[in-house]
Amino acid sequence: MDETVLDARGLICPLPVLKAQKRLRAMSAGERLRIDVTDPKAPEDLRLLCDERGYRLLGRREADGVVSVSIEKT
C-alpha cells in the first residue's frame, strides 16, 4: 500500500507531531503516513499521538540517523 511521506527531519518536538497530526486530519481512513524524523523524542511522541487519536502505529525503522514511523489513519 502507498504511503504519504512527511519529511520532518531537522524539526524538534512538538513540530513533527503537530505536522503529522495536521496531515492525518486531512487523510481518509485506511490511508498511511510515513513520518521521517531526526529528533530522538519524536518516535515516542508519535506513538502517544496514535494512542490518543486511535490511529494505528504500523511500525518504525531507523537508518542513518533517521527514524521512519508509519501510521495508518483509522
Instruction: Give me the active site residues, please.
Output: 13
Specify the pairing of strand 3-8 against strand 66-72.
unpaired
What stretch of H or E contains 69?
Answer: strand 66-72
As a whole number of angstroms, the longest Cα–Cα distance in the chain is 31
3-state secondary structure of 14: coil
